[in-house]
Structures are given as structure tokens and as C-alpha cells.
Structure 1
Amino acid sequence: MNSLPATADSPAGTTDPALRLVGIHKNFGGVVAIKRFDLEVMPGEIVALVGDNGAGKSTLIKIISGLYQPSEGEIWLNGEPAKFRDASDARAKGVEVVYQDLALVQDQPVYMNMFLGRELTKGPLRILDRKKMARQTQELVDTLDVRIPSARATLSDLSGGQRQGVAICRATHWASGLVLLDEPTAALGVAETAKVEETIAKLRERGAAVLIVSHNMEQVFRLADRVAVLRRGTQVGVKKLADTSHNELVAMITGLQS
């Protein structure tokens, strides 16, 4: 199982940001989607990315995850410059994304979804090592306290919140420190949202750097350490949640405050 980087308070602490964006700019033809965006996300930190519809949040996530290449600017991971050819290249470099639609296989067990496309095998015939995959999956869901019947349960038998928890576990397993969450609770009810938020908070405890897109201001204040605000592709500011308010963030998002 992959181990996440130690936090700055640990014996093997690091001062390098897990993610550093420098002057990220993205054009689609003559349309400017992102204008010079700068951000650092440290190990053991949750940063929220907020903005109105069309502000550029999803575009930025797609740039960090390799789906888009920036027109200008630099991406750094754990102190090293990173350029992604595509999403698989970003995943190979330890960037994992959880989207609202999950990208899970409903008729497969949880452990097969955890290792989807990265299945463990054994012996010269490369037979699937189902026992090892199930064991590692169970260890991770237990660590993150994702309440599912078993790692061998079929995904379609789980609730929406449980499936989202599985998706977050999968991202945590394969990430080398950076997990991107794009509206991970948008389709969930109140109780299931609370369970998923508990799982997200545990990522911070494990030393992961988390960048979460959310429209839910209450969720942002519950989870995040800092918040970055986008408006019409322009970075309005980055605030510590302890130093701002709901009203101030709404004003920044809507343009009533610059």
C-alpha cells in the first residue's frame, strides 16, 4: 500500500508543497478560462476551491489531473516540476481525482474497484491475487473508517455515501500525497455527506494534501484550512478559513468585494 508523505510535524517532515501552481493560464482558442492562477497545498492540508458556475474550477482540476495542459505556467509536485501528457501520466506521478460520477464499476466487488486497471497478480500465469487485493482494501477502509459490509461486497449493494467513500479510499491508496475532490458530496444527502466528510478529514490526518471543489460554504468551513476563490477565471484571493467569514467569501465569489 502506498504511504503518503510525512507532515511537517513528523520526524521525516517536509517543507515542500505537495502541489505548487505558478502562473497557470489556460486559453481555449480566443477564450481565456484561467488567468495566472497561483496556489500551494501542503501535506496534511485541505484547501477548498470555490467560485460560481463557470468560474474555472473544473478547468483547473482538469489541468492539475492532466486532462488539459496549461497554456502557460508551471505545476510542481513535492518540490519537483511536473508536466503531464495526459491523465494517466498524472496518475503515474501520484495525482488522484475523485469526481462526482465516481467512475466505479457497479457489478464488481469493492476490492476490484480499488485496484481497477492496476490489478495485483501472482505466479507465472499472472492470476488475479484476489485475496491480497481484498486484504489491502479492507485495511484501508478500516483505517479511513469507511463503513461498508466488506471489501468483498458488490459495489451496487452499497449506498451513495459508501460508494463515494470507496472512491476516496481508492484515490488515497494510489496518490503519492495529492488528492483532488470535485464536488464529492453534491449528490448525497445530509447523513451520507457527513460520513464522506469524516473520510476526507482523515486524509489530512494521514498527511495527504487535498484540494476540494465545493459549492457548499458550510462544508468549506467544516473541512478546509484555506480557501482559494475564482471568479470568471481570475484568482480573487486565498484566505485562511480562520481569518474570513461566509459573507466575505460570498462577496468575493459574486464580485461585491475584490
Structure 2
Amino acid sequence: MIVEDDQVLISLTGITKEFPGVKALEGVSLEIRKGEVLALVGENGAGKSTLIKILSGLYQKTSGEIRVNGKVVEIKDTKHAQELGISTIFQEPTLAPELTAVQNLYLGREIVMTGLRSMDEKTMYEETEKLYRKFFSTVEDLHVPVKELGALKNRVIEIAKAISFKASVVIMDEPTAQLADHEREVLFDFIRTLKEQGVSIIYVSHHLRELFLLADRMHVMRDGKNVATVNKSETNIDQLVSMMVGREVSNYIVKKEVPVGEEVLRVTDLNRQGILKNINFNLRKGEIVGIAGLAGSGRTETLRAVVGADPINSGNVEVGGKSCKIKSPKDAIKAGIGLLPENRKMHGALIDLSVSHNITMAAMDRIIANKLVLKKKKESHIAEDYVQRLGIKTPTIHQKVRFLSGGNQQKVILAKWLFTESKVLIFDEPTQGIDVGAKVEVYNLIAEFVQNGGGVLLVSSELPELMGLCDRIYVIHKGEFVKEFSREEATEENIMMYASGGHT
């Protein structure tokens, strides 16, 4: 397909980026056209982040050519990128939480009144209001610190900040990572509005279904190289996954049939005032049981209550038929329950400790002699064993977890709970923020755990993931379980009807 030169905003030709001992990008070429959404697709390590950072001015390319509006440029730094019309919204929030939207938009580039040293707050407010009204009809949020606003409004403020630099290209890296399903839909509408206004979007997301809702074209990368650029209409999810990982990955979220055994977990009449109401469910050996619901419905709160991370007003937890008093995560570990939390960096791992320490820390008594002496050789042997068994990609067991990819961090946390010999593993958003290849590996590890007689309780915002993996799915709405579906009964329409309160 021939594209007119005046339709190409940015063209990259033969972009290579080398770090000491590593070639992160090799000969990458692509075009960004006016008013399009171009999805940048690939596994972790494919080179997406490096390419984004080169366009953003955070990295400088080793070789290759960048043209902006037909002119060859060297993007020197982030300020230069913004001057060229390129703004980036990174996955991690960049707003100053204590400041208002106006203060955030003009942070470091405040407008000063002519001939005076004081800031022109009136002009800054008016300019911010113009941008904000592109997305919302009311502007009262502009007066409050952004920390008091929800994740969606913070994302929109970041978008407004990006286009305040007169951006013609906005790069969005995992923009929906902190958003609920209904908020994602609102953000998608905002993105479509930007597109209609002639702004081009480079969109990066591990949620492949989002790409098919938004993107015009998809540029697939693998191992720092081009794989293909395809129109949305010319491909599907299975083909996209195959291009990303370099192999066929068909039915990659379908659970294998496993004989179901005796009950390993039963929760009865669990209550937490104002949060959870009469939660009842059970889990058996060989089962994967899901909990579906909208953000704020009580999914995570249910898991935290079960493991004693949050207090409860009443309720009973039985593990293996025995009633357990679980008042803290330590009690849950003793009972044989492990939780892989949603925020693995804050609650799941000690990211500044080594892989080996993270794997063994939940059962230190097994590697300590005389309650005082750490058996370092034993710890190393155990860590090496789990690294090999779970395929954890790390240069050494002494590497800090902080420097591993999201998928490998998740595997380290899983190894920790396997080492405790847990009977029940509870997963809260186990594949959030990890690529397709890593997802497949996590699914296989979950399957292996239940095949060996364990039981898994699973919370996920991805309904296809729940329906593909789970034997049964409970739906929670406003802190109460309102429906239980078998695998055969579960459809996205049925689940969403109950999750959104449509059953009432």
C-alpha cells in the first residue's frame, strides 16, 4: 500500500540500539501516520520500551535514521522530543500527587505575567480548562490535588498534559493498567476523540483485545527486530500471538481436565462490615475456581480476608476439613494457604532482595539450623532447583528481583509458595502486566500445581482468562457473591450481567 509522504508524521529506518554486551534493537523500521492508532506489539524484551525511549528522547539510537515531518532529526532529550511534537505517557504515573491538574500541566514551565515575577495563574487555569473540557463537561476537579481523583481522571490529566505540548504524536505505554473495565471504555472514547482531531497514537498494551478495539495497524516486534506490520482487518489474536512468540500458541488459556478430589478450602459466612457480606464458597483438589467482578466489587478484599491480611467481623475458614483461626498472613501460611497479590512489587516480593532470599523467606525455618544459623548452601540449592523447574530467567540466584521482568517476578513469588508446600494458592491478577509468552508459562505452572493435588482460587479482570482456566466462577457484586457458574454456563454476557448488578 502506497502512503503519501504528507501522511507520514514519523518514519524510522534501520534503528539499532546497543548497550554494553546487548543489542536491544536491530534494524527496526516503521512509520507513524497522521490520525492513526499504531499498536506496538511484542513480548517483554521484544524492544518496545527501548524504541519508545528513543522516540521520547530518553535514549539515543546507536544507528539508523529518524524523520519527523520528512526532516532527518536527532532526538536529543525529552524536551527536544516535545518540541518535535512527541509526548509520552509512561505506564507508571508521572503526576505530582499533591498538586492540582493545573499545577501538574505547567510544572517546570509556568507562565509568568509580563514584566512581573509572579505566575499568571489565570491564564494557566484557562488553558488547562480548555484541554480538560475536551474530555469532561465539568471542571471542578481542576481545583483539587490529583491524588484525590481516580485512576481514570489521572490518566486523562496525563493525556491533557501530553497534548498541551502541541503533540502530534502521543505514545501511551499500558495506559489502562490501573483502570476498571468501564473506565477503559471511557478512555478508549477519549483516544478515538484524539484520533479524530488528527493526533496519532502509538499504543502499547499486553491486552491484545484492546488492540483490536483501537488500533488501525499493528507493528509486531520480537527479539529487538521487526516481525511484521499488519492492518487490524488482516489478522486475529491467534495470528498476532504466533508472530509475537515465534510459534503456534493455540488455546493457550484452556485448562486441562484434572480429576477433582476432596475439599481443600471452605469459607463460610465471611463478613466485613461495609465491605463483604456473607461470603460462602469452597475449593477442591484439582480445581481452579474464579472470582469475577468489577473493580471495587470486593474481589481483592475477599482474598485478603481469607488470608488474614484484613480483619473480619465474622466467618470461618476450613483448610483440609479443619477449622483454622486465620488472623494474619502468617497463620494462613501455617494453614497451607499462599497468596500471590495483585501488586507483586509492593506486597508479593521484596524486590531489593535476591531471587534466592525471596524464594525461601516464607519458610525460613526449613533452612535455619538451631534457630540461628542460615544454611546458605541449602538455600542456594533450593533456589537453583526452583529457578530451573519454573524456568525463571535470571543471570544468577543472587540477582535482585527488582531487575527481573514482570513474568519472572511472578514466577519467583510462585516458587516461594511452592516451597512452603501450600495446599491452596490464591492468585490476584496473576498475568497483569506480563506478555503472552510469560502468561502461557504462568498458566502451565498453575495447571501443574492443580495436577499435583493443589487447589487454586483465581481473581482476574480478563474474562477470557477466567473462562478458559476455571472449573467454576463465582461472581461478586457490592461485596456479595451473587452467582456461581459452571464452566459450561459461564459466558462474558452472563458474568457481566451479574457483575454489574443487572440481575437485580
Gapped regions of structure 1 (runs ≥ 5): 1-7
Pairs aligned (count): 246
Alignment of 1:116-135 (within 5 A): 116-135=107-126
1:208 — aligned with what?
199
Q: With structure 2 as the length reference, what TM-score do the two structures score?
A: 0.47
Comparing 186-195 with 62-71, greater Cα deviation is found at: 186-195
Aligned to 2:142, what secondary structure does the other structure show?
coil
Percentage of pairs with the same residue: 35
1:190 — aligned with what?
181
Distance 1:145-1:81 versus aligned 2 partners, 3 A rule: farther
Letter in 2 for 1:107: E
Query: Equivalents in 2 of 1:169, 1:152: separation in Å?
Result: 16
Comparing 71-80 with 187-196, greater Cα deviation is found at: 187-196
2:24 — aligned with what?
33
1:247 — aligned with what?
238
2:163 — aligned with what?
172
Distance 1:155-1:244 versus aligned 2 partners, 3 A rule: same
Q: Is 1:84 matched up with 2:75?
A: yes
2:212 — aligned with what?
221
1:56 — aligned with what?
47
- For residue 18 of structure 1, the aligned residue among 1, 6, 9 is 9
How far is 1:127 from its partner?
A: 1.5
Query: Equivalents in 2 of 1:55, 1:175: separation in Å?
Result: 30
| Contact 2:42–2:48 (CA under 8 A) maintained in structure 1 | yes
Residue by residue, what CA displacement relative to the aligned partner does 1:81-132 show, whole Å, maximum 9, x if unpaired?
1102222222222211001222111111111111222211213123211111
Query: Equivalents in 1 of 2:27, 2:128: separation in Å?
Result: 39
Query: Equivalents in 1 of 2:119, 2:75: separation in Å?
Result: 30
Letter in 1 for 2:46: A
Query: Equivalents in 1 of 2:137, 2:245: separation in Å?
Result: 36
Aligned to 1:116, what secondary structure does the other structure show?
coil
Distance 1:177-1:31 versus aligned 2 partners, 3 A rule: same
1:5 — aligned with what?
none
| Contact 1:100–1:187 (CA under 8 A) maintained in structure 2 | no
How far is 1:22 from its partner?
A: 0.8
Aligned-residue RMSD, C-alpha: 1.9
| Contact 1:171–1:179 (CA under 8 A) maintained in structure 2 | yes
- RCO higher in 1 or 2 (8 Å CA, sep ≥ 6)? 1
How far is 1:16 from its partner?
A: 4.1
Letter in 1 for 2:49: S
Distance 1:61-1:46 versus aligned 2 partners, 3 A rule: same
| Contact 1:148–1:162 (CA under 8 A) maintained in structure 2 | no
Distance 1:147-1:101 versus aligned 2 partners, 3 A rule: farther
Query: Equivalents in 1 of 2:138, 2:36: separation in Å?
Result: 24
Gapped regions of structure 2 (runs ≥ 5): 249-504
Distance 1:43-1:129 versus aligned 2 partners, 3 A rule: same
Residue by residue, what CA displacement relative to the aligned partner does 1:202-251 show, whole Å, maximum 9, x if unpaired?
11011011111111111101111000001111111000001111111011
| Contact 1:26–1:72 (CA under 8 A) maintained in structure 2 | yes
Distance 1:147-1:195 versus aligned 2 partners, 3 A rule: farther
Alignment of 1:78-117 (within 5 A): 78-117=69-108
Query: Equivalents in 2 of 1:68, 1:88: separation in Å?
Result: 13
| Contact 1:146–1:199 (CA under 8 A) maintained in structure 2 | no
| Contact 2:41–2:204 (CA under 8 A) maintained in structure 1 | yes
Distance 1:147-1:52 versus aligned 2 partners, 3 A rule: farther
Query: Equivalents in 2 of 1:189, 1:157: separation in Å?
Result: 17
Q: With structure 1 as the length reference, what TM-score do the two structures score?
A: 0.90
| Segments of 4+ moved more than 4 angstroms | none
Query: Equivalents in 2 of 1:147, 1:246: separation in Å?
Result: 38
Query: Equivalents in 1 of 2:138, 2:27: separation in Å?
Result: 41
Distance 1:200-1:146 versus aligned 2 partners, 3 A rule: farther
| Contact 1:25–1:35 (CA under 8 A) maintained in structure 2 | yes
Distance 1:237-1:170 versus aligned 2 partners, 3 A rule: same
1:155 — aligned with what?
146
Aligned to 1:128, what secondary structure does the other structure show?
coil
Distance 1:169-1:146 versus aligned 2 partners, 3 A rule: farther
How far is 1:144 from its partner?
A: 3.0
Aligned to 1:201, what secondary structure does the other structure show?
helix
Larger Rg: 1 or 2?
2
2:226 — aligned with what?
235
How far is 1:149 from its partner?
A: 3.4
Query: Equivalents in 2 of 1:121, 1:185: separation in Å?
Result: 35
| Contact 2:37–2:202 (CA under 8 A) maintained in structure 1 | yes
Letter in 2 for 1:41: I
| Contact 1:146–1:162 (CA under 8 A) maintained in structure 2 | no
Residue by residue, what CA displacement relative to the aligned partner does 1:159-181 show, whole Å, maximum 9, x if unpaired?
01110110011101214311111
